[in-house]
Amino acid sequence: MARARKRLLVVVGLFVIVGVFIWRFPPVRIITRTHAAAQAAARAFDAGRFVTEFWTNQLLPACNRAADVHALVELLRTNPPEAEKKYARKFGLGQKWYFFVCGQAKVLSVDGGEILLCVDGDGKPEVKVECGPVFGNTVRDGCGLLDVSQFPNSQDFNMISLEINRRIEAEVLPRLASNMPGAVVKFAGCTEIDPSEPELLPLKVIPVWVEP
């Protein structure tokens, strides 16, 4: 009798231990749809916040290290292969050349569609800035500061371009367009060139910084 009672106590004790273990560490965790959505939102990539930090901490400081636009213009006139070798960035199998440039220029004209800049004092437009909406990945890829392998998916990487372009439209282009013809400005920006084109100038620059 005593042995049976002892055995019963052991069995009950084992059930209690197993029950406590399952309660503490359930083999199946039930996650509600609301909770799952909240977790997904927490993990979602905030492109706006990323670009704000990238702009301040990486892009603007890098403007001082960009290629001199006057030197690039001269090489494109006289020795395009050397310009490619010295300054260009290329991606994958694409033929386009990307450049990150900075320098000083004189404003030749400002109208509703474009701004023409002269960088070498000859009165000819070596740089053209389009004032309309900014599309594409020229700045994201041309600055050389971002690598797609750093991001979990291409959608996040493309959202970065969208936010960069929005910021340029809202902050940089209006500042450049506010200058009158004859004004001297300092600027930094990115451009892409198709070397198969018969004319490589003027450079179509998307500015990321302008002063004044």
State whether 20 and 120 are in the same domain.
no
Residue 135 has pLDDT above 50, yes or no: yes
Q: Quote the mean pLDDT of the chain.
A: 88
Whether residues 55 and 106 fall in one domain: yes
Q: How far is CA 151 from CA 143, 148, 155, 158, in A?
A: 17, 6, 9, 10
What pLDDT does residue 172 have? 98
Q: What is the pLDDT of residues 18-41, one digit of tens each?
A: 554 555 655 555 545 555 544 454
Tell me, yes or no, whether 163 lies in a domain: yes
Q: Is residue 174 part of a domain?
A: yes
Same-domain pairing of 32 and 70 = no
Q: How far apart are CA 44 and CA 200, in angstroms?
A: 41
- Domain assignment of residue 16, given as a range: 2-36
Q: What is the dihedral of CA 179, 182, 187, 191, to 10 degrees?
A: 100
pTM score: 0.80
The answer to whether residues 17 and 91 belong to one domain is no
Are residues 75 and 12 part of one domain?
no
What is the structure's pLDDT at 94? 76
Indicate if 149 and 198 belong to the same structural domain: yes
Q: Does some domain include residue 166?
A: yes
Are both 98 and 179 inside the same structural domain?
yes
Mean pLDDT, residues 48-60 = 98
pLDDT over 70, % of the chain: 80
For 161-186, the pLDDT digits (tens) are 999 999 999 999 999 999 999 999 99
Using alpha carbons only, give the angle 180, 103, 124 rounded to the nearest 5 degrees. 60
Residue at 84 is within a domain: yes
Q: Mean of the pLDDT values across residues 140-147? A: 97
Overall domain count for the chain:
2
Q: Rounding to the nearest 10 degrees, give the CA dihedral for residues 179, 181, 187, 192.
A: 120
